[in-house]
Amino acid sequence: MSKRSSIASWFYILLLVVAPMNAPAQSKEYQIKAAFLFNFAQFVNWPSGAFPGTNAPFCIGVLGDDPFSGALDATIQGETIDNHKIIVERSQNVADLKNCQMIFVSKSERKHVAEILSALDSKPILTVSEVDGFAERGGGINFYLAGTKVRFEINPGVAQSDGLKISAQLLSLGKIVQSAKEDK
Amino acid sequence: MKLMFLTCVVWMLAGTISILHAQDNSPPSGATGTNASPSAAAGPAVYKNMSLEQLMNQDVTSVAREPEPYGQAPAAIDVITSDEIQRSGASSIPEALRLADNLDVAQKNSHDWAISSRGFNTSLADKLLVMIDGRTVYTPLFGGVFWDQQDYLMEDLDRIEVISGPGGTLWGANAVNGVINIVTKSADETQGLYVEGGGGSELHDFGGARYGGTLATNIYYRVYAKYFDQGDEVLTDGSNASDSWRMAQTGFRMDDDASAENHITAQGDFYASDEFVTTGGQAHTDGGNILGRWSHTFENDSDMSLQTYYEQTYLADPIPGNTSPIILKPAGTLFDDLDTYDVDFQHRFHLGDRNNIVWGLGYRFTHEEDIAAPALAFVPGTMDQNLYSGFAQDEISLGRNLFFTLGSKLEHNYYTGFEFEPSGRLQWNITSNHMVWGAVSRAVSTPSRVDEAENIPSIIPGVPFLKGNTNFVSESEIAFELGYRAQFGQKVSASLSSYFNYYDHIRSTGITPGTIIPFVFQNNLKGETWGFELSMDYQILDWWRLHGGYNFLQENIYVKPGDEDINDGFNETADPENQVFLRSSMDLPYHTQFDLAGRWIDQLTINSGATLATVPSYFEMDARLAWQATKHIEFSIVGQNLLHAQHLEYGFPGPDTEEIARSVYGKVTFRW
């Protein structure tokens, strides 16, 4: 019994080693971040003036290179926020995304953060990024990794001054940061 | 044969599901649905239905099972993640420890377990150091752990790090064959309301709740409470073992993240439990602990932490009467009351470009009072102990990919005075995905109250049947280890750890010349053990992961030439030579998870004191099916030890031996 079982287990482990390996699909990190974006949309209230019309969609803009590889589209597909259908728009130019309610600023734009934020200043748009210091520089929410887990910083002053209402639950889960003195 | 059969069944089942899934082009919620790893529930369709709090607890690495820095630690470490604990359906910490490939976990009855690593898994096993959030939980009564006193909401466990092999250099006495470090989540990771409840055939009913909130910006807290009612196990003939167990526990944790340089944690737990004992009577235990820790990061990339705790435990344990004609004592109750005060300081800094130094100081004071039962006493009944310790360790970079770590602990304990526990470790990162490590270490198991103060009276006044030995010395070990850890592509990771250990001064039992009794504990055994532990994870598909583990152990413990042991060297071991673990984790459509875990445990030889007996090998299987019905509610059903109505894991086989029955329970969890 003992010997045969050992052989069986070795065989099993061997099978695992030689079985073919598939290429990775969407990264788990960005699937999780996409789900965060979807959650942010639910935990923030936009003023009615943020939408061009009552039937207008809720737009999530991706500015710069899209790191989500389809995970964001898969996340929001068929979903609505307060009866606004959620859509994703992509652009390399912030001006194209000014009708969006949320803009994800890709890492590829890290050198242009100041220009982007000044272009969006005082508009009711929630800016989200993953560039170090984004929230301190006047961004709304910034992802960072704590070990292997996704965390976010939130700058409540910026968001609220633009007319957005952020739920207490979101504030309690994020790390609160304030705008650095030299900005604004 | 059964294992072969199961292997085939799992593969066929997997193949079938894989085909079905491939044909299913319209998964729920319109999402693509098959993109993430099952280790954390799969794909955008699943993540988007998670609460923020759940999202914050997802590991972004899908294959690396051991988040940094564990993946790079030059030791035989197996990290059990919170996700694995949830998916296993474990309802207690000992059940969760079955997930570690480098442990031997044997359940004795409803409320007792024998848990060890690399052998020596006896009733008085004393070679494992167990900590919960930095609090050492082995008892100075026998150097082992009362596993029935260690509980949490499984939901609030962040991870369990199981290190097999000696850890004495960092952790001190008793870390001879392994260290188990149980870590709960930080309070900021447990925000919001969580409620669970359920019941079943063995775990009759249970419930728990936790609420986490903020006291001020970036200052988080949680409070929790739980209870359970564990039913009776069975005797060999299938009759009721009358060993049911009820326990309630409550506690809190506060984490202050307000400043970047300082982190403050305060936490405490209080519990009470009642256990029926199959030999008659009812055990009661209660206790609590309170712990504070301050960590500070300095500007030059160095840090320190200062921790202190107080713990109180109380045990009233029914001791059966002894009908041996030379003892003849009635049943009674042993009371053990223990207070522990502990302070621990640690500092880490860099010296030059090549040295990463950690050093620390510790002090522990214990006050223990034992009130004897007629058939079991501790003499003296009251004992105060001081434990002073210090350690230093230097990790030296010998090159870009080669590290040498040298260190030692120096301890002063009540029984044997100074103990020295040095180790040297070499780590070579061949590539970023392949690492080889080796270590040579010395570790000791210092005497416990059992070794020095146990006293079983006889019918002759003043002459005990068995007594402890005030000259008992520390059991010592020299360990040689060699390990390899690798990541093959994106999907396969593996770890192999091998060891060769020399032991000396292992506990034996001798006679008193001339009168035979009292029997007395001595240090007359020595020996060697060797073996290896293999772990492997394979992410077959984005939604399906397999895990395999194999643990091989050889022990050769013998009486030193010219010395004696009335147990012929058999009393300190009760270990399976081979253990095989297989697990499958699947994320299926409609927000369901399906997990299977099989384990084959080899036979083990156990000593009754007079004759040897064998606990037969067994194969058992656990399963869990969970359905995340909405973002807030999850239903699950868990089956444990499904293959047999009952089976024996530990204990001397006989009509009165307790066996473990098949168990099924249902659970509902609610998060807000």
Pairing of strands A58-63, A84-91: parallel
- Which residue from B330, B75, B195, B248 is spatially nearest to B669, judged by alpha carbons? B195
Rounded to whole angstroms, the Cα distance separating B421 from B171 reads 10
- Predicted local distance difference test score (pLDDT) of residue B610: 62
Rounded to whole angstroms, the Cα distance separating B669 from B177 reads 37
> All domains of chain B, ordered by start, with CATH?
2-671 (2.40.170.20)
- Predicted local distance difference test score (pLDDT) of residue B72: 61
Contact assessment for residue B364 and residue B341, using Cβ atoms and an 8 Å cutoff: yes
Return the axis-axis angle of helices B2-23 and A2-18, rounded to nearest 10°. 30
Which residue of A42, A80, A172 to mutate against B (max B Cβ within 10 Å)?
A: A172
| B492 → closest Cβ in A8, A16, A151 | A16
The minimum CA-CA distance between B20 and chain A, rounded to whole Å, is 19
Average pLDDT, integer, range B101-122: 94
Contact assessment for residue B339 and residue B286, using Cβ atoms and an 8 Å cutoff: no
The percentage of chain B sitting over the pLDDT mark of 70, rounded to a whole number, equals 91
- Predicted local distance difference test score (pLDDT) of residue A149: 79
Q: DSSP for B490-530, please give it.
A: TTEEEEEEEEEEEEEEEEEEEEETTTEEEEEEEEEEEEEEE
- Predicted local distance difference test score (pLDDT) of residue A153: 92
- Which residue from A52, A114, A118 is spatially nearest to A87, judged by alpha carbons? A52
Token pair belonging to B67 = 């988040």
Rounded to whole angstroms, the Cα distance separating B247 from B452 reads 32
Average pLDDT, integer, range B51-63: 68
Rounded to whole angstroms, the Cα distance separating A156 from B484 reads 48
Rounded mean pLDDT of chain B?
87
Rounded to whole angstroms, the Cα distance separating B19 from B69 reads 38
Q: Which residues of B touch A70 (CB under 8 A)?
A: 32
Token pair belonging to B555 = 């022990």
Residue B28 has pLDDT above 50, yes or no: no
Give how far the C-alpha of residue B353 lies from the chain's centroid of Cα atoms, to the nearest Å: 37
> Please, what CATH class does the domain formed by A26-176 belong to?
alpha beta
- Predicted local distance difference test score (pLDDT) of residue B476: 95
- Which residue from B91, B38, B105 is spatially nearest to B581, judged by alpha carbons? B105
Average pLDDT, integer, range B127-147: 92
Pairing of strands A102-105, A126-129: parallel
Give how far the C-alpha of residue B270 lies from the chain's centroid of Cα atoms, to the nearest Å: 20
List B residues 42-81 in contact with A (Cβ-Cβ < 8 A).
Answer: 43-45, 47-48, 50-53, 55-62, 64, 67-68
| A173 → closest Cβ in B52, B61, B603 | B52
The three-point CA angle A162-B49-B223 to 5° equals 85
Residue B61 has pLDDT above 80, yes or no: no
Average pLDDT, integer, range B24-48: 43
Ramachandran area for residue B531 (φ above 0: left; ψ -120 to 50: alpha; else beta)? left
Residue A55 has pLDDT above 50, yes or no: yes
pTM above 0.95, yes or no: no
Rounded to whole angstroms, the Cα distance separating B60 from B55 reads 10
Q: Please tell me which residue, A105 or B429, carries the higher pLDDT value.
A: A105
Quick: pLDDT tens for B239-285: 999 999 999 999 999 998 777 788 899 999 999 999 999 888 899 99
Token pair belonging to A132 = 């170090």
Residue A77 has pLDDT above 70, yes or no: yes
Residue A7 has pLDDT above 50, yes or no: no
Residue A128 has pLDDT above 80, yes or no: yes
Q: Which residues of B touch A25 (CB under 8 A)?
A: 34-35, 542
- Which residue from B376, B381, B521 is spatially nearest to B458, judged by alpha carbons? B376
Residue with tokens 């044969």: B1
Rounded to whole angstroms, the Cα distance separating B206 from B626 reads 17
Answer whether A35 sits within 8 Å of B47, measured CB to CB. Answer: yes
Residue B1 has pLDDT above 60, yes or no: no
Strands, E, within B231-354: which ranges? 234-235, 245-256, 262-276, 282-297, 303-319, 332-351
Contact assessment for residue B204 and residue B215, using Cβ atoms and an 8 Å cutoff: no
Quick: pLDDT tens for B329-370: 999 999 999 999 999 999 988 888 888 899 999 999 999 999
Taking the CA of residue B80 as centre, how many other CA atoms within 13 Å lie in the half-sphere pointing to its CB? Answer: 28
Ramachandran area for residue B653 (φ above 0: left; ψ -120 to 50: alpha; else beta)? beta
- Predicted local distance difference test score (pLDDT) of residue B217: 81
Please, which residues have CB within 8 angstroms of residue B489's CB and are 6 or more apart in sequence?
Answer: A21
The minimum CA-CA distance between A3 and chain B, rounded to whole Å, is 9
Chain B CB within 8 Å of residue A35 CB: yes
Q: Which residues of B touch A29 (CB under 8 A)?
A: 60
Burial-class residue A83 by CB neighbours within 10 Å (0-12, 13-18, 19+): exposed
Q: Which residues of A touch B494 (CB under 8 A)?
A: 17
A3: DSSP letter: H
CB atoms within 10 A of CB A141: 28
Average pLDDT, integer, range B62-68: 33
The minimum CA-CA distance between B489 and chain A, rounded to whole Å, is 8
- Predicted local distance difference test score (pLDDT) of residue B71: 53
The minimum CA-CA distance between A39 and chain B, rounded to whole Å, is 7
| A21 → closest Cβ in B33, B67, B491 | B491
Token pair belonging to B582 = 């297989």
Rounded to whole angstroms, the Cα distance separating A104 from A113 reads 12
Contact assessment for residue B592 and residue B626, using Cβ atoms and an 8 Å cutoff: yes
User: Confidence class of residue B608 from pLDDT cuts 50, 70 and 90?
Assistant: low
